[in-house]
Amino acid sequence: MARNEYRIGALSLNVARYVIVIFGAIVMVVPFLWMINSSLMTTSEITRQPPVWFPATPQFSNFTGLLEVVPMHRLYLNSIIVAAATVLGVLFTSSIAGFAFAKYQFPGRDLLFYMILATMMVPFFITLIPVFYIVRQLGWINTFQGLVVPGIFSAYGIFLMRQFISTLPDELLDAARIDGASEPLIYARIIVPLVKPALATLGTFTFIGVWNAFLWPLLVISDRDLMTVPLGLNSLRLYAAEARNLHLLMAGTALSVVPTLVIFIFLQRYFIRGIALTGLKG
């Protein structure tokens, strides 16, 4: 009897758990479903009361109409170039500095490392104008390198890679040195292959961050041919505010969100691992 009661109790507890988790998941997903749904509606369907749940006829023309307002295909290409270049840069600078901070002894190491950590705390806005100035001195306004280069030095990335590389045993390095490997070779042949999971984590985070970045591209880019996706979304937002072309706005929003969703679904385990790593070692 007691055993049965226990089982029923455990069962109902389990059911309750599922109910809450599923409810939470629905709350998380509904806005996205709604966005995709609305991107196929007409403006009057979007704003009707009581709400229309599904478009009478899916308006795939919203997506072609969108192209008349912002050149989405061009923006995609630009965002991909900028994000890919930034990711490669961040991976290199973070892993090599993280390696040095984790596995070498040198005067000033801890001071430098703490300084780097401290810059993580500074509001981004503080550096906005001066960095802009520097980029200009380099003649990089309205160029991709103006978007990319300031972004490839990541305090967070160095921190993450240092934490990860610290967990690798020193014996690996010593063994390689005994075999006559030089220090750069150790970095390239031993460290980089071993930290691939951490690099994947950092890479995906950086990609998402760059893909979603808005304020910096807004300042650096004015040439239409170099605009990134958030810049396009912003002009679309302002255009839609004036014309109430809500269907175009939803189509554009859906298109801007999809690439990050796809990347995340494929690479989600790296995210999770990376977050766990920073959270636990912080």
Partner 1 sequence: MDGTKALATPANQFSTPRRNTLFRQRMIWAYIFISLPVAGLLVFSLGPILFTGWVSLHEWNMLTPPSEMPWVGLSNYVYLLTQDTIFQRALVNTFIFVIGGVGSNVILGLAFALLLNSRLRGQTLWRVLYFLPVITAPLALGVIFGFLFNRNYGLVNSLLIALGGTRQPFLASPDQALYVIIIMAVYQYLGYYIVIFVAGLQGIPQDYYDAASVDGANVWQRFRHITLPLLRPVMLFVIVTNTIGALQVFDLVFATTNGGPANSTMTVVLHMYNTAFKFQRMGRASAMAFILLAIILAITIVQLRLLRDRTQE
Partner 2 sequence: MNRSPLLVSLILVVVLVLGASIAGAQEEITLRVLTHWGEEIVLPGQLAMIEAYEAANPGVKIELETVPFNDLLTKIITGQTAGTNPDIFHLYNLWLPEFTRSGLLAVPPQEVVDAIVANTSPGIVEGVSAGGQVWGWPTEVNTYLLIYNKRLLEEAGYSEPPQNWEELREMAAAMTVTDDTGAITQAGFAVWPGWDSGIVHPFASLLMSNGGRYLTEDLSATAFNSPEGLETLQLYADLLADGSLDISVPSGEFVNGRVGMTIMANWWRATLRAAEAIDYDTEVGVAPIPVGPSGSETATMSYNWLWSVASTSEHPEVAWDFIQWMNTPPAEGEPSPMGDYLVHSLGAIPSMIYDQEAFSEELGDHFLAPFVASTAYAVPEPIAAGGQEVKTKLQAEIEAVLSGMQDPASALEFAAMEGDAVLAEYAAQ
Contacts to partner 2 by CB under 8 A: 42-44, 47, 49-50, 67-71, 129, 132-133, 135-136, 141-142, 218-219, 222-224, 234-235, 238-239, 241-244
Q: Which does 75 bind (CB under 5 to 8 A by kind): partner 2, partner 1, none?
A: none
54 sits near partner 1 (criterion: CB under 8 A)? no
CA-based torsion, 11, 17, 21, 23: positive or negative: positive
Q: Which does 43 bind (CB under 5 to 8 A by kind): partner 1, partner 2, none?
A: partner 2
Chain positions 189 to 228 lying near partner 1, rule: CB under 8 A, are 208, 211-212, 214-215
Q: Which residue do the tokens 């993450």 mark?
A: 160
As a whole number of angstroms, the distance between CA 41 and CA 36 comes to: 9
Q: How far is the CB of 114 from partner 2 (least distance, A)?
A: 32
The count of residues interacting with partner 1 (CB under 8 A) is: 91
Residue 219 makes CB contacts below 8 A (sequence gap 6+) with 128, 132
49 sits near partner 1 (criterion: CB under 8 A)? yes
Q: Which does 239 bind (CB under 5 to 8 A by kind): partner 2, partner 1, none?
A: partner 2
Q: Which is nearer to partner 2, 127 or 182 (CB)?
A: 127
Q: Give the per-residue contact string, 231-260, with partner 1 (x = CB under 8 A; - = no).
A: --xx--x--------x--xx--x--xx--x
Q: Which is nearer to partner 1, 23 or 60 (CB)?
A: 23
Q: Is 231 helix (H, G, I), strand (E, B) or coil?
A: helix
> Both tokens of residue 164?
């990860």
Q: How far is the CB of 207 from partner 2 (least distance, A)?
A: 25
Among 112, 168, 172, 192, binds partner 1 (CB under 8 A): 112
76 sits near partner 1 (criterion: CB under 8 A)? no
106 sits near partner 1 (criterion: CB under 8 A)? yes
275 sits near partner 1 (criterion: CB under 8 A)? yes
Chain positions 115 to 174 lying near partner 1, rule: CB under 8 A, are 115-116, 119, 121-131, 133-134, 149-150, 152-153, 155, 158, 166
> C-alpha angle 101/158/113, rounded to 5°?
50
Contact 271, 204 (CB under 8 A): yes
Preceding omega of 130 cis (within 30 degrees of 0): no
E strand map for 86-225: none
> Both tokens of residue 70?
């912002």
17 sits near partner 1 (criterion: CB under 8 A)? yes
As a whole number of angstroms, the distance between CA 76 and CA 211 comes to: 10
Q: Which does 69 bind (CB under 5 to 8 A by kind): partner 1, partner 2, none?
A: partner 2
As a whole number of angstroms, the distance between CA 243 and CA 86 comes to: 36
Write the single-letter amino acid at 261: L
> Both tokens of residue 19?
């109910």
254 class by beta-carbon count within 10 Å (0-12 exposed, 13-18 middle, 19+ buried): buried
